[in-house]
Every structure is written in structure tokens, then in C-alpha cells.
């Protein structure tokens, strides 16, 4: 009964939102923003970026409030908007880094928005897969793909050839993808 009451209450709030009711917007923000922020932050690993994406989610919802159907799941709309903005943020952040860019694209392309977009376990598995790489390979991968250093810079830092750097990146990417496939994560 409480669930039905909450559904009717939310439908009413959404109907008021579509007419520009700022109190309705505030109610939705207070109800969903904390959980959404935690989920976004767990993926982005950056508090400022997570706050920026969260604000953009709610700005877009306000700007398109007239199009929101109060009879459809607001939470699904919220997560879909969040998914798209996180995807855009990551794509822009890693633009020009082909291997990791492809990897991020695949990680963000979740099958079910509510179930997998902000799935903390996926992020933890990715971190674990990186941590399980052999020490030199892990170091090369982190320097090139997470810190954005060029192969040349890493070659000089570690006193190894650029072809060895490339080999480490290819093998690290394969190992990470294989590890994630074991957990039924499509990459």
C-alpha cells in the first residue's frame, strides 16, 4: 500500500513539475540526488566531476520538464539521463586515447540502466583486474591510460622501449577484458 501511495504521490509531483513548480523539483532533487551522486562518484572517482554531472542531470530534467510523463518511471528517466551524461563525460575525458576510450565506451554501455549503469561491483572488478596485472604491466597501463602519459614519456621514465610499452598495453587490455568477461561483463 505504501508503494502505491508513493507512486501516486510521485505522479502528482511530476505533474506539478511539468507545470514549472519549483517545490516539486526540489522534492525530486531531495529524494534522488544523494543516491544518484554516490553512484556517479563511484564510477567517475572524482567528487567535483560527479557533482558537475549530477547538476547537469537535474538541469536537463528541469529544462525538459514539460516532456516528462508522470505515469512512467521517473527513476528510470533519471538514470537514463545520468547514464548519458556519464558516458559523455568519460568519452570526452578519454578522447584521443583509443584503447581506453573503447574500453570506457564498452563499460558504460550497460544493458539495463537501473541495474548496471551505476553498478559498484563493475567498478570494483575493473580496479581489481588492473591491480592483478603483473607489476610492470600494471605500472605501464596506469601511467599511459589512467595518467595520460605518452608512450615516449613512459619509455624514458622506466627505461624500456616504446614497443615494450605497446606490448604491455595490448596485453594489459586483453587481460582486463578477459577478467571482466569471467564476471559476465560485456566488453
- Longest pairwise C-alpha distance within the chain: 67
* Domain final position from 28, 62, 95: 95
Same domain for 138 and 86, yes or no, is no
Same domain for 139 and 77, yes or no, is no
Q: Which three cell numbers stand for residue 18?
A: 511539468
Separation CA 12–CA 71 (nearest Å): 9
Same domain for 132 and 175, yes or no, is yes
106 in a domain, yes or no? no
175 in a domain, yes or no? yes
Q: Which of 2-6, 34-38, 85-89, 109-113 has the lowest mean pLDDT?
A: 109-113
* Domain final position from 52, 79, 95: 95
- Higher-pLDDT residue of 120 and 24 is 24
Q: Is 80 exceeded by the pLDDT of residue 64?
A: yes
Same domain for 87 and 152, yes or no, is no
Same domain for 70 and 14, yes or no, is yes
Same domain for 140 and 60, yes or no, is no
Of 83, 89, 90, nearest to 39 by C-alpha is 83
* Domain final position from 45, 61, 95: 95
pLDDT at 16: 93
Same domain for 139 and 58, yes or no, is no
CATH number at residue 175: 1.10.10.10
Same domain for 69 and 145, yes or no, is no
pTM over 0.85: no
pLDDT at 4: 46
pLDDT, tens digit, 9 for 90 and up, residues 69-126: 888 888 888 888 988 888 888 877 765 455 455 555 555 543 344 455 445 666 777 7
The structural domain count of the chain equals: 2
Of 120, 127, 128, 124, nearest to 39 by C-alpha is 120
Could you list the residue range(s) of the whole structural domain that residue 124 is in?
Answer: 119-187
pLDDT, tens digit, 9 for 90 and up, residues 120-167: 666 777 788 889 999 999 999 889 888 888 989 999 999 999 999 989
Same domain for 75 and 9, yes or no, is yes
Crossing angle of the two packed helices 98-108 and 162-182, in degrees rounded to 10 = 10
CATH number at residue 7: 1.10.1740.10
**Taking residues 15-34, what's their average pLDDT?**
92
160 in a domain, yes or no? yes
Separation CA 136–CA 49 (nearest Å): 30
Amino acid at each position: 500500500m505504501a508503494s502505491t501511495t508513493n507512486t501516486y504521490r510521485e505522479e502528482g509531483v511530476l505533474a506539478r513539475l511539468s507545470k514549472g513548480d519549483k517545490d516539486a523539483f526540489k522534492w525530486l532533487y531531495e529524494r534522488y540526488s544523494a543516491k544518484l551522486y554516490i553512484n556517479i562518484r563511484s564510477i567517475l572517482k572524482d567528487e567535483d566531476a560527479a557533482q558537475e554531472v549530477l547538476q547537469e542531470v537535474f538541469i536537463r530534467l528541469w529544462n525538459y520538464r514539460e516532456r516528462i510523463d508522470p505515469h512512467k518511471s521517473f527513476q528510470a528517466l533519471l538514470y537514463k539521463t545520468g547514464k548519458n551524461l556519464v558516458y559523455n563525460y568519460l568519452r570526452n575525458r578519454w578522447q584521443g586515447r583509443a584503447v581506453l576510450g573503447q574500453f570506457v565506451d564498452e563499460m558504460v554501455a550497460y544493458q539495463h540502466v537501473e541495474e548496471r549503469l551505476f553498478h559498484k561491483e563493475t567498478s570494483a572488478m575493473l580496479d581489481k583486474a588492473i591491480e592483478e596485472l603483473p607489476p610492470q604491466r600494471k605500472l605501464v597501463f596506469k601511467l599511459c591510460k589512467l595518467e595520460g602519459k605518452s608512450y615516449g614519456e613512459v619509455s624514458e621514465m622506466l627505461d624500456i622501449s616504446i614497443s615494450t610499452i605497446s606490448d604491455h598495453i595490448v596485453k594489459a587490455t586483453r587481460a582486463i577484458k578477459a577478467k571482466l568477461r569471467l564476471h559476465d561483463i560485456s566488453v
